[in-house]
Chain A
Amino acid sequence: MKIRHHERSDKIELSMTPMIDIVFLLNIFFLFTFKIVLPEGDFNVQMPSAAAARAAEPSELPPLRLVMKAAPTGQLADLRLAGRSFGNGRDAFAQLQHYIRTQVVAPGGGTPSEQEVEIDADYDLDYDYIVRAITAVTGYIENGQPHKLIERIKFTPPKQP
């Protein structure tokens, strides 16, 4: 028997157009959904409800009270820690941190872990100041290395104006 070989001499031309259409559509989709997200980070605060907190063993050290007074516009009017005022200047939080580093934290050693800071802020104060206060209290970065200060933070109940 004779087998016939069909030789296909004609070249098959792949049609690129639909593929390129889809690929461009995909590209446009990704381009539009692309958004630059700034890196975000967290401050972890454990705040059990008041009843549960009372049941927990009380700290030996009394909490340091950080009072933050607000101006009517929401700006910081006064910042004071344990009765000592740091004013409302541009470097109030830097002063606060300096005070904690030199006075509250023992110069050579670490912070007593049970030391707690209680933030007592006015109702209308901008939230930005709270985060800056927490930053000043919880730690600092020196030569690229983070150092910890007081990590236990709690808030007084909000005072409805």
Chain B
Amino acid sequence: MRIVRSKLATSAEMDMTPMIDVTFQLIAFFMFVLNFSEVDTDQRINLPASELARPPDAPYSQPLTVQMTADDTILFAGDEMQPDALQSALMREAQIIKAYPNKKLADVTVVLRADRAAKTGKVQEVIQMCQKAGFDMFALRGKQSDVSTLIEL
């Protein structure tokens, strides 16, 4: 018996158009959800939950984020430091803000992101240091909760 081999001489060209369409859609999606304002939030911090924690109506004019992990490490201005080093860093920050003619210390809101397991006394010490540096507006940050946090589950 003779086997007839059919030769596929025509080169198979894949149609790329749908794939490129979908890929561009994906890129557009990721570009829109990319949130640059969240760069100063550290994932190590597990915020306390509250049903009343609502995002501010208007963004703060001068936010200053101080973060505190469960083991009392302070994250401030991109640096990790121990609580006793925070005072000088805050003083420096206050001096810089004062040096600008169009910035005032009273406009600064200190956003405090402390871990839910952090010690209250340590958080209060951070608040005191901020007060000593001249800041007096604070925003205690929590994560939003859909259920009431008053009754422990």
| A residues adjacent to B (C-beta < 8 A) | 16, 19-20, 23-24, 26-27, 30-31, 33-35, 37-50, 52, 68, 70, 74, 90-91, 93-94, 96-97, 121-132, 134-136, 138-141, 146, 155, 157-161
Contacts and interface: CB of A to CB of B under 8 A. Distances in A.
The number of chain B residues touching the other chain, given as a range, is: 35 or more
Contact of A93 (B24, B118, B141, B150): B150
Contacts of B121: 121-125, 158-161
A37 B38 contact: yes
Nearest to B41: A37
Looking at chain B's contact residues, the main secondary structure is mixed
9 contacts: A42-B54, A44-B139, A46-B136, A52-B136, A122-B121, A132-B149, A136-B150, A139-B52, A158-B122
Contact of A123 (B16, B35, B119): B119
Contacts of A68: 120
A91 B136 contact: no
A40 B38 CA distance: 10
Interface string B40-56: 01010001111111111
A120 B34 CA distance: 41
A126 B116 contact: yes
B52 A31 contact: no
Contacts of B152: 90-91
B124 A131 contact: no
Contacts of A157: 124, 128
B77 interface: no
A102 B151 CA distance: 18
B37 to A, nearest CB: 10
B43 A127 contact: no
Given A16-B16, A44-B138, A135 B123 contact: no
A44 B52 contact: no
Contacts of B50: 41, 43, 131-132, 134-135
